[in-house]
Amino acid sequence: MYHLFKQITFGLDNRDPFIEGVDAKGAKQPIDTRAVNERYPHAVLFGGTCGGTIISPTWILTAGHCTLFNDGRGVLAGTNNSDVSGVYRFTKRLIIHPLFSVGPYWLNAEEFNLKQVAARWDFLLAELEEPLPLDGKIMAAAKLDDQPDLSAGLDVGYAGYGTDHHGGTMRSEMHAMELSVQSNEVCSKLEQFEAKDMLCAKGRPPRYDSACNGDSGSGLVDNNGRLVGVASWVENDAFECRNGNLVVFSRVSSVREWIRQVTNI
């Protein structure tokens, strides 16, 4: 998932190597945005161009690479539509994981024959100036995953405001994606995949959801609300939003102790 925000301005072109895919709307399936908000009350819009997850009234977990494209000044919570009033909070501290690194996104992938651009330890903790009201409409993720291994086939999903096609604009309505965790063996076909800090998932039939520009940082949760991953990058060159692509998430269990040390959560 290359940062699902396309405006890279480091030269060459405006392609974004971070997260791509198609949502329920793009797959021509009806979507009830109210239901999306009810299922993902922990999902936020971070900095206007990324997703994020509430892990406490004052802390948001998102992707480290999101700060490459926006200043992370604030988050919007408690709404399924960014054009409608929600709860906005300014951030006062942004803490990137100390091992965070990102692939050569400034290069022309075709010219240099780069099959994949990836991020390692792609995590960012954002502390809010004021707490969010956890009133049911807004909630923290039920649990932060601390298990090193996830079962292949586990049903998971995420919600975000990413585009429905490459080069598009962020959508105002939150959308949801339904995926299944893949085995490390399947994920390892991606050259940059590292099971230590990554997991991958693939859309379930019939939609075969993936991800797209602007979905980076969104939290991957299981059916019990357990937060297992943070949207990071996507299979192939990420210059197209395609159903069926493997989506790579940063593995939350790999940084559970770091989160605890920083936030006391």
* DSSP secondary structure, 169-191, as one string: PPPSB-EEEEEEE--HHHHTTST
Whether 65 is a known active-site residue: answer yes
pLDDT of residue 247: 94
How does DSSP classify residue 81? B
Distance CA 184, CA 200 (A): 8
pLDDT of residue 242: 81
- Say which residues have a Cβ less than 8 Å from residue 222's Cβ, sequence separation at least 6: 154, 155, 156, 228
Of 216, 232, 253, 254, catalytic: 216
- Report the DSSP pairing between strands 87-96 and 101-102: unpaired
pLDDT of residue 17: 40
Q: Are 192 and 185 in contact (CB under 8 A)?
A: no
Whether 122 is a known active-site residue: answer yes
CA-based torsion, 182, 185, 188, 194: positive or negative: positive
Nearest Cα residue to 255 out of 231, 218, 228? 228
pLDDT means over runs of 10, the chain (265 residues): 33 35 37 70 94 98 90 92 90 95 57 62 97 96 94 96 79 90 96 94 92 92 97 76 90 98 98
pLDDT of residue 8: 27
Of 65, 97, 166, 175, catalytic: 65
pLDDT of residue 118: 78
pLDDT of residue 117: 64
Of 16, 23, 122, 197, catalytic: 122
Whether 42 is a known active-site residue: answer no
The domain made up of 33-263 is a member of CATH 3.40.50.720 = no
- Write down the pTM of the prediction: 0.85
Q: Are 63 and 255 in contact (CB under 8 A)?
A: no
Nearest Cα residue to 249 out of 221, 224, 223? 221
pLDDT of residue 104: 56
Residue with tokens 């993936």: 210
